[in-house]
Chains A and B, each alone.
Chain A
Amino acid sequence: MNAKFNVKLSAAMLCSCLLASPAVLASSEKLEISGFGRVVAGFTDDRDVSFEGYENELSFQEQTLLALQVDYHLLDNLTITSQLLAHTNSERDSGVEWLYASYVPHSNWLVKGGRMRTPFYHYSDVIDVGFAYPWISPPQQLYSAFLFNQYDGASVIHNFALGNFSGSVEGYYGSFNGDTQFQDRRYATNIDGLTGLVFSGVYNANLRLRASYSTADFSVNLAEISAFADQLRSFGFVESADSLTMEGEFDIYQVGLALDELDYNLAWEWMRIESDTVLAPNIESYYVQGGLVFQPFTVHLTYADMATNPQGAATDIPLGLAPDLDQLYYAYQTVFARTQAADLESITLGVRWDAGVRVAFKAEVTHYRGALGISTFEAVGDRDAFDERVNLYQLGMEFVF
């Protein structure tokens, strides 16, 4: 979708919500209109690489967005919700992000069906709602766009109370057919049999915990790489072809804890992705975050780390037998090397200023350390000049209405 269309869509959405909300709300409680948005600017101090679309040049495009949520209450316990999103990042689709029906058969049960956000981690389903979290960019080690973030399916949530513990269990099932974005490029993706279980709870009303498991079958078409893999397969180098094929099963495990007090907060979240595919390595990531509240400012510090466990290249193409095969061998080694993930470590210092009840300004600087890789930095200049250290500076405004 081009930028022009996005701007038009944003303008149309803004107008329709400005026009519609007071009038409609006054006339009927059946329709509720709300929304959120963010304006984010950022740049890195490194000329050799790009990181999540950011380069050594100020950009407002990567994360700026505007969204409108419409809730229509068909019955007391049956609601249709739609979330429309306009994004300035040309690699992200603008349009209907969520569209689902929710039904409350009993006060402790909630059933939803339709297009929803995948609840992998604590903030996954509100990743576009910057107002909901302290950072401008939540720790990339968990929250990168590396994964797909929507699914079509159903979810059932049950809430329960046990003394000072208030909990909920969510089970969901669905599929996804669309694009996944990583490193500013999009790839056709098919996810089947997505199944997940999320357990979350609050102890003493201020200590939150969350644990989840999800699994699915996936296949991602990596364009040129998939074409090269097909070629290798036709020559009979199945092992090499398989190592360049993004197809298989993944499992994601997540655990998180967060303590919120009047003048400080602490949070920790950990995840592990396991897959049987060479191209999608096993990943283990976590972050620890602490914040101090000096009303209306919150200063926070986050350490995050991602460790990947890459697998070796295939060995079925012989070297030294024939010049043609040698050429294929080196082509394979080069492509394989370019598809490897790398580890990433970061420290983020940020400040959030809650300037009003529904508006916050944020500033943050993140120091990253990591090699080139599909999960980290992409070379835009001289690959060998990159010193594996990048600072990312960001400023943002978040609002909800």
Chain B
Amino acid sequence: MSETGLSQGTGLELRSVSVCYGDANAVSQVSFQVSPGEIVALLGASGSGKSSLLRGVAGLEPLAAGQVLWDGQDLVKTPTHLRGFVLMFQDSQLFPHLNVSGNIAYGINRLPTAARQARVNELLALVGLPGYGKRRIAELSGGQAQRVALARSLAPNPRMLLLDEPLSSLDRGLRERLVAELGTIIRSSGTAAIYVTHDQSEAFTLADRVGVLQDGQLLQFATPDELRRHPASDYVAEFVHA
């Protein structure tokens, strides 16, 4: 379905990425790869550096060291808006002055009007909110806002979807229902994704591979199965079985 999703390239590669805030090292020397169409979860407690890493990939934080490559091409000097990585925030960050359609159409403003409207409707159907286009943002519930945010993120067929704890502001029941749905939607779009979370069940439900972070270090990067069976350290074991 998406041109970029079917890319035959190597996808995303992080080489020894470090992110600093002043003197504090938020992320140090992290390396891993995300293949096209793959969903990777970054799991860690708050303050482990997972969100900083995601912002570094998006180009919203400058890297202190290392490289971010797409299909082997270094993106470090590419500004955020040209990277084609869409970031979805914990608190939706929908534009309050636009309605639902306006938000979803934001990233596809170059399409002709008819095609744009068709794409908006297609995405509204995909996230289970058909007919919501004219709604104002203030009228949406928390769960609906996150669905709209997901639709907005997928609309431009991004090369990669970056999700920063997208469900953590929702209540538990809703979160459990949405996490499976989110996985299905992302997979059906064929987009590669990095999913940041502190919840191991979310990570294991969604991801093909999971990276466990502590104090900015990547402790282990493996499939859920492998993590459960061969945790690299006591910390990983404890976190995975929480």
Q: Do A and B come from one complex?
A: no
Chain A residues with CB under 8 Å of chain B are none
Chain B residues with CB under 8 Å of chain A are none
